[in-house]
Amino acid sequence: MSDILDPRHEALAEHLFKRACLVLDMPGFEMRALRRRVRGVGKLRSYALGYTKLGEKLITVDLYTPRTMKARKLDAILRVICHELAHHQQPPRLYREWFRYVRVIHHPKFWTQVKKNVNALRRDEVLGVYFA
């Protein structure tokens, strides 16, 4: 069985990712689809929609629903892309709490950046169609 469920859906998601990077002025990023070991079988404890490493310009996005493996809606994929790109625009903050440092990943300025990214994609003539 092929590891790619719907090649057209993955190609369209890749094209939309390139366009989103162009609109948000973040060149050089690469998208990869999240591959599960056993698709749609067993207990699903992790509902991660995407992840990224700050040192690399690689973003992994889950293009399919975890249980039924149906293709996700494109506006949901674009929102995950905005979220993951915001991690590179607003990196984690270090706060001192008593005698230790706490790393806050989703801080308030981060969420403001996510909203700015989504609004920028909504205003785009190509990607705005998917936010209807």
Query: pTM value?
Result: 0.88
Please say whether the dihedral angle defined by the alpha carbons of residues 99, 53, 86 and 68, taken in this order, is positive or negative. negative
> 59: which 2 tokens?
């973003």
> How confident is the model over 37-65, as pLDDT tens digits?
665 565 555 678 999 998 899 999 999 88
Q: What's the structural domain count of the chain? A: 1
CATH code of the domain containing 77:
3.30.2010
Q: Do the domain assignments include residue 79? A: yes
Q: Do the domain assignments include residue 43? A: yes
> How confident is the model over 71-109, as pLDDT tens digits?
999 999 999 999 999 999 999 999 898 899 999 999 999
Q: Do the domain assignments include residue 57? A: yes
